[in-house]
Amino acid sequence: MSTIITKLLIAVIKMQTKIGDRVVRLQEMISKLTNNTYFSTGWVAGTLTQAQFGLDVTAYTTAVTNVKNHVAGAVGARNTAWTTIKADLQLILAMVQSKANANESNAAAIIGSVGFFVREYKNRAKQQNDAINTEVLGTVLLTADTAGHHEWQMSKDQITIITLPSTDTSKTYVTDLNQGDVWYFRNKKVNTKKSTYNWSPWVKLIVGPGGRIVGGGTLPGHAGGLPGSL
């Protein structure tokens, strides 16, 4: 079942461009991930284990050293090892973001504990009734075009409806959605003693990668880069 978070903190990799600095950063990450309080048991990022990540970092470090020593074929080996590291980091990023989303009060500490940087997702666009793919894959931002307390609903067919927790603001986040799924979302202001409000039209969204809010479109995926690009 999807969960609702009120303040989305995004884990960002921001890997260094200089190769020597990359090696130092990766070694620091290995240290931070070892006996990490937030990832103390069952450390698995997709198909990646902590032990395998350590081996991949060692392979990259060795290849970097071999390039400095002008070993034949070392440049190709280094580049291949770096491609592996980039894939590893994306798996770790997803693992860390999932843990941060599930523990909002400690999200910043969780992200920082592995050596990633923290960025708060902010919506600076003119707000409308919308469903927007964020930079965190599977997390959707819902917005309403009116201020105040709101109710929210989601559905796959506009018949079977899931009621989401109401909020005291005009936006909310839905997490843990599957990429490629099609969802419909709608909202309305919470009724008062003096006023009764209607539901907004359904907004259709295909869950996928997103980024900065650019608005428009019948399928508002809002193109943009994923977090922590290397």
Domain edges within the chain: 10-118, 122-206
What is the pLDDT at residue 180? Answer: 92
Model pTM score: 0.56
Instruction: State residue 6's pLDDT score.
Output: 52
Q: What is the pLDDT of residue 42?
A: 64
Provide the pLDDT for residue 217. 36
> What is the C-alpha to C-alpha distance for residues 135 and 54, in angstroms, rounded to an integer?
27
Q: How far is 163 from 144, CA to CA, in rounded Å?
A: 16
At residue 216, the pLDDT reads 35
**Per-residue DSSP letters for 163-214?**
EEEEESSSEEEE--PPTT-EEEEEEEEPP-SS---PPPPPEEEE-----S--
CB 94 within 8 A of CB 46: yes
**Could you tell me which CATH number the domain at 122-206 has?**
2.60.40.10
Q: How far is CA 118 from CA 14, 34, 40, 109, 132, in A?
A: 10, 20, 21, 9, 21
- Spell out, as residue ranges, where the chain has pLDDT lower than 50: 1, 212-230
